[in-house]
Amino acid sequence: MNINDLTDEQIIEIAHPLWDDLVKYSNQGRYGKFIKKFSYNLLLALNEVEMGKQFAHSELSRNLVEERDFLGLIRRGEHVTALYRVRSTAREGEWLGRMVLGYENGEVRIFAASIF
């Protein structure tokens, strides 16, 4: 199945709860919960030691505002990117949140996620 066969509304219904969980578990420092919907290939590519250090010590990733501004979807190939405006409770300004979704073994998984 290709995620791009879904309508924008169907993708948004999937994407928003996944994004909300990423923000919640990032703020709580719950690394295991944070990565639970990552694709197998993303998990293989992560350097868990470096990711854990960044996760534990990043002021931005531990102080995200839970309210999100959805900016849109970008579709390509077998993946779709959901874009969000992100704010912090500890730092002034706005960041771009990006989450790439696709199907893996019949289930929607996160293939990339970042804030920059």
**Whole-angstrom distance, CA of residue 91 vs CA of residue 81:** 25
Q: Which residue has the tokens 């804030």?
A: 115
Closest CA to 96 of 107, 87, 104, 105: 87
Task: Name the residue with tokens 């849109």.
Answer: 72
- Give the integer Cα–Cα distance in Å for 36 and 5: 24
What's the pLDDT score for residue 72?
Answer: 98
| pLDDT at 41 (0 to 100) | 87
Which residue type, as a one-letter code, is found at position 1? M
Where is pLDDT greater, at 47 or 24? 24
* pLDDT, tens digit, 9 for 90 and up, residues 42-79: 887 776 666 666 666 677 778 899 999 999 999 999 99
Tell me which H or E stretch contains 112. Answer: strand 107-115
